[in-house]
């Protein structure tokens, strides 16, 4: 029921307030003595070079795509799991078919080295 979610809204409001207060507090208290060296990016004491906004490994992207695939699978699994007792063997075979298709993709990614980080 929608009213069940009301306390969550209240909590979101309070938590947001907490975060805002903490962030403003930290801005107000404490000294303010900035200097160029202090404000430059930390690179282990060496003078910083280049930007941090550079290309990074495509593997991160691949991982994100795989995550989306399997995360959607979880969303399929949850209602199925809750109703599993009612669905019985039909439910198992239907989910088994779905999983089989997904597993073929999984095996493919595995064999193609999609999980290797070298």
Partner 1 sequence: MTLDPIVITLIEAVVKTIVVIVALLTAFAYLTLVERYVIAKIQSRIGPNRVGAIGGIALLQPIADAIKMIFKEDFWPSQADKIIYTIAPGIAVGTALLAWAVMPLHPSTEIFGYRVDFFIADVNIGVLYLLAIGSLGVYGIVLGGWGSNNKYSMLGALRSTAQMISYEVSLGLALVGVLMISGSLSLVTIVEKQSFIWNVVWQPLGFIIYFIAAVAEVNRLPFDLPEAETELVAGYQTEYSSLKFALFYMAEYINMITVSAIAATMFLGGYQGPFGILPGVHWLVLKIMFFIFVMMWMRGTLPRFRYDQLMRFGWQVLLPLALANIFITALVMLVVGA
Partner 2 sequence: MSLSVPDLNFRVIAPALIVALTALIVLLAELVTPAPRKRWLGVLGLIGLLIAAGATVGLWGAPASAFGGMVVADNFGLFLTLVILLGAALSILLALDFVRAHRVDQGEYYVLVLFAVVGMILMATATDLIVIFLALELLSLPLYILAAFKRADARSLEAGLKYFLLGAFSSAFFLYGIAFIFGGTGTTNLMKIADALAKNPRNDLLLVGAGLLLVGFAFKVALVPFHWWTPDVYDGAPTAVTAFMSVGVKAAAFGAFFRAFLVALPAFAFDWRIVLAALAVLTMTLGNVAALLQSNVKRMLAYSSIAHAGYILIALVAMGASGLSSALFYLLAYTLTNLGAFGAVIALSDGERERLEIRDWGGAARQYPFIAAMFAIFMLSLAGFPPLAGFTGKFLIFSAAVETGWAWLAVIGVLNSLVSAYFYLRPIVQMYMSEPVPGWDRIRVAPLVALALVLALIGVIALGLYPTPAIVMATGGFLR
Q: Contact residues for partner 2 (CB under 8 A)?
A: 83, 86-87, 90, 101, 104-105, 107-108, 111-112
Exposure class string for 28-40: b at 16+ Cβ within 10 A, else e? eeeeeeeeeeeee
Closest CB to partner 1 among residues 64, 101: 64
Q: How far apart are CA 114 and CA 99, in angstroms?
A: 19
Supply the minimum distance, in Å, between the C-beta of residue 87 and partner 2: 7
30 binds partner 1 (CB under 8 A): yes
Among 47, 55, 88, 111, interactor with partner 1 by CB under 8 A: 88
Binds partner 1 by CB under 8 A, chosen from 19, 104, 105, 108? 19
Tokens standing for 105? 């993709």
Tell me if 100 contacts partner 1 by CB under 8 A.
Answer: no
CB of 70 to partner 2, least distance (A): 18
Sequence-ordered list of residues with C-beta below 8 angstroms from that of 49, at least 6 positions apart, any chain: 43
3-state secondary structure of 76: helix
């Amino acid at each position: 029921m929608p009213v069940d979610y009301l306390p969550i809204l209240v909590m979101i409001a309070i938590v947001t307030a907490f975060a805002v207060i903490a962030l403003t507090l930290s801005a107000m208290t404490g000294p303010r003595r900035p200097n160029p060296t202090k404000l430059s990016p930390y690179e282990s004491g060496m003078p910083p070079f280049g930007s941090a906004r550079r290309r990074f490994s495509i593997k991160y992207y691949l991982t994100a795509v795989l995550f989306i695939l399997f995360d959607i699978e979880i969303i399929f699994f949850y209602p199925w799991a809750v109703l599993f007792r009612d669905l019985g063997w039909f439910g198992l075979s239907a989910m088994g078919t779905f999983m089989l298709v997904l597993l073929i993709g999984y095996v493919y990614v595995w064999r193609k080295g999609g999980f290797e980080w070298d």
